Amino acid sequence: MILISWNVNGIRAVEKKGFIDLAKEIGADILSLQETKAHKEQLSDELINIDGYTSYWSSGERKGYSGVANYSKIEIEKAETGFGADERFDCEGRILASYFGDIVLLNIYFPNGQRDDERLQYKLDFYDATLVFCEGLRKQGKSLIICGDYNTAHNEIDLARPKANQKTSGFLPIERAWMDKFESFGYVDTFRTLHPDTTDAYSWWSYRAGARPRNVGWRLDYYYVSPELLPKLKRAEILSDVMGSDHCPVLIDIDI
């Protein structure tokens, strides 16, 4: 099964750049999008109903902000939005949980903590709520795939200029420590597991100063899986040649 995750930085913007044709060409079994920046009623029928796919949407209360979506070729038994535990998190349209068999795919757009200390704390609280939600699902016997824009580069290998960004949200020690904590519960970074020493592998580049052509980037987009799924993982890739957003898609091929 091919799963692809992409922060599109505005689905209406990428629609104008050929997103519908691209979605058909890449042929993912499930295509997960973050930062859609739209409510479903604002979208064209062609965009909602891409041939071969059923789409699912989670939008925040604030229009033009946040939002996630899944396009699925496989039958989803249940799709839920939010964690259902704290309206602070669910109101921003950052979470979409898709259930099929014993698998739950979580498509999450994690908050950015750069605005101020209050927003950084919100991000850290959101991280903790994610872990609680994931562990609750595992206790129900579910295997998890957690994809999305995590908005943190975990280790120095995951960004081009680690020394210059020690005090930048997205690479703060406290954010990276949560990624360590997440992995301590058994969750596996699929790309880094299959490519432990690969450098210059990034999924986000600033629009400023020609960062993308020079590959001055960050790896912010991940597929994590619960440990029992690791033997089923066949490949993990970063599709850096796909344009249209300041992020590029990431992919896993997994036997489920």
> Would you call 45 a catalytic residue per the annotation?
no
Residue pair 255/190 in contact by the 8 Å Cβ criterion: no
How far is the C-alpha of 4 from the C-alpha of 182, rounded, in Å? 21
Q: Name the catalytic one among 90, 149, 189, 221.
A: 149
In whole angstroms, give the CA distance from residue 150 to residue 109: 7
Tokens of 170: 């997205």
Alpha-carbon gap, residue 161 to 202, rounded angstroms: 12
Distance CA 236, CA 194 (A): 7
Q: Is 206 helix (H, G, I), strand (E, B) or coil?
A: coil
Identify the burial level of 25 via C-beta atoms within 10 angstroms of its C-beta, where 0-12 means exposed, 13-18 middle and 19 or more buried. exposed
Beta bridge partners of 99: 78, 104
What residues are annotated to the active site? 149
